[in-house]
């Protein structure tokens, strides 16, 4: 049986083979998509399928489909640990993907700005691409004016991860990647794993773990671009946003924090009660691209943000163990990139809520530390939950 669903990035139909989705074991299904390309899908374990998706760096790339009992589907590739689509029903039961993404690997090999990617070794910016640790100055790959952004020229978003053996029967996909000592200028061999779990309540939980053999900064995040309407023709300016943060980290012209933790009170950064994103965006030069200092205390998985959209009736809740949240309103999207069905992805076509430590922490001693030392275990969790109202 075939079921056709809408994909935001495509606006056209993609095909999900429901018999394969519900299969256990390693049954293989050959199918043809709308372009008549043959794809082999393998049901890996309950709720997860693996499909061949091409090659990068001489390694095989796969697309994994996680399906829950309520028919929601998340697709994740081991290329960049990338979430390529998240199909959920709107309040009328119509399904579409709420994240920007492409149907084929070639869309990602062209390096879109971190669409759905796992970002590392250090998400966000490190000023001038340098920092000093234990008396030694490290020079990083610089890729954002004079700064290092999102792990450098070839960050974790552009490497092929290994999918772990899937012996257990949980609806989780674990991807592993070891970043070598000196990669992009960072010290230490860093063993990283990211586990994605889709619950039947449409919660996508992402767990990040890492260990190193030399002290290194680390700041792993996911860079999904959400548009709850499921259609890039609608901007996110009418989405309503709440962020549980009384303070944010103001930035200089190159988006490096000044070091100050500034109150949001009376500013366009006050999302402590819900506000439409478009309401005050004109007062923020360049649009929102700022780290919010979350009010949460400690490292429990607490709710920190909520986005609602009246067109689709969808609600997105963000939970995290992390102290910061980068709210990016898709300012640099300019219509150059197109969805698979040719719709230009215009400015504010989507928004990112990147859970993180504060930008440039390795150079700002007053910020919580991002240094992982040998013998320590890095573990953070973030959960995105989608529901309808």
Distance CA 143, CA 90 (A): 38
Distance CA 356, CA 222 (A): 9
108, 114, 269, 271: residue in contact with ligand GLA (rule CB under 6 A) = 114
| 326 forms part of the interface with ligand GLA (CB under 6 A) | yes
In whole angstroms, the minimum distance from the beta carbon of 124 to ligand GLA comes to: 6
| 349 forms part of the interface with ligand GLA (CB under 6 A) | no
| 352 forms part of the interface with ligand GLA (CB under 6 A) | yes
| 336 forms part of the interface with ligand GLA (CB under 6 A) | no
User: What is the sign of the dihedral through the CA atoms of 206, 294, 358 and 327?
Assistant: positive
Measured between alpha carbons, how far is residue 254 from residues 126, 284, 359 in Å? Answer: 11, 14, 12
Measured between alpha carbons, how far is residue 336 from residues 144, 176, 344 in Å? Answer: 19, 32, 7
Q: Annotated catalytic sites, by residue? A: 223, 354
User: Which residue has its beta carbon closest to ligand GLA?
Assistant: 113
Q: Please choose, out of 259-267, 277-285, 324-332, 378-386, the segment that lies near ligand GLA by the rule CB under 6 A.
A: 324-332
8 A C-beta contact, residue 93 and residue 157: no
| 183 forms part of the interface with ligand GLA (CB under 6 A) | no
8 A C-beta contact, residue 338 and residue 344: yes
In whole angstroms, the minimum distance from the beta carbon of 255 to ligand GLA comes to: 6
In whole angstroms, the minimum distance from the beta carbon of 291 to ligand GLA comes to: 8
Distance CA 270, CA 251 (A): 16
| 232 forms part of the interface with ligand GLA (CB under 6 A) | no
Residue with tokens 């869309």: 107
| 328 forms part of the interface with ligand GLA (CB under 6 A) | yes
In whole angstroms, the minimum distance from the beta carbon of 113 to ligand GLA comes to: 3
Q: What is the DSSP letter of 32?
A: E
Select 169 or 336, whichever has its Cβ closest to ligand GLA: 336
Which residues of this protein are in contact with ligand GLA, per CB under 6 A?
113-114, 124, 149, 255, 289, 326, 328, 332, 352, 354
């Amino acid at each position: 049986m075939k079921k056709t669903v809408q994909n935001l990035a495509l606006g056209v139909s993609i095909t999900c083979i429901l018999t394969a989705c519900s299969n256990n074991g390693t049954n293989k299904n050959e199918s043809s998509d709308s372009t008549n390309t043959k794809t082999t899908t393998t049901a890996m374990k309950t709720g997860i399928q693996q499909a061949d998706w091409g090659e990068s760096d001489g390694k095989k790339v796969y697309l994994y489909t996680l399906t829950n009992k309520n028919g929601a589907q998340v697709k994740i590739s081991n290329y960049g640990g990338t979430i390529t689509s998240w199909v959920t029903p709107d309040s009328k039961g119509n399904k579409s993907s709420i994240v920007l993404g492409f149907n084929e690997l070639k869309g990602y090999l062209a390096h879109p700005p971190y669409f759905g990617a796992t970002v590392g070794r250090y998400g966000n910016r490190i000023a001038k691409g340098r920092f000093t640790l234990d008396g030694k100055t490290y020079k990083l790959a610089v890729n954002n004016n004079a700064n290092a952004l999102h792990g450098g020229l070839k960050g974790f978003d552009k490497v092929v991860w290994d999918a772990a053996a899937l012996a257990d029967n949980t609806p989780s996909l674990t991807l592993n990647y070891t970043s070598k000592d000196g990669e992009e200028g960072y010290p230490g061999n860093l063993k990283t794993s990211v586990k994605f779990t889709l619950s039947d309540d449409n919660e996508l939980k992402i767990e990040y773990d890492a260990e190193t053999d030399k002290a290194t900064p680390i700041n792993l995040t996911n860079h999904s671009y959400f548009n709850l309407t499921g259609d890039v023709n609608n901007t996110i300016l009418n989405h309503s946003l709440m962020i549980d943060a009384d303070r944010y980290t103001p930035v200089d012209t190159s988006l490096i924090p000044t070091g100050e933790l500034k109150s949001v009170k009376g500013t366009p950064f006050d999302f402590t009660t819900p506000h439409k994103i478009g309401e005050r965006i004109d007062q923020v030069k360049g649009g929102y691209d700022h780290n919010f200092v979350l009010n949460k205390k400690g490292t429990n998985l607490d709710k920190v943000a909520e986005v609602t959209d009246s067109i689709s009736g969808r609600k997105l809740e963000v939970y995290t163990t992390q102290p910061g949240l980068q709210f990016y309103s898709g300012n640099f999207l300019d219509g150059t990139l197109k969805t698979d069905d040719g719709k230009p992805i215009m400015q504010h076509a989507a928004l990112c809520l990147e859970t993180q430590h504060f930008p440039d922490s390795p150079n700002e001693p007053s910020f919580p530390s991002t240094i992982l030392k040998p013998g320590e275990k890095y573990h953070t969790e973030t959960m995105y939950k989608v529901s309808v109202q």
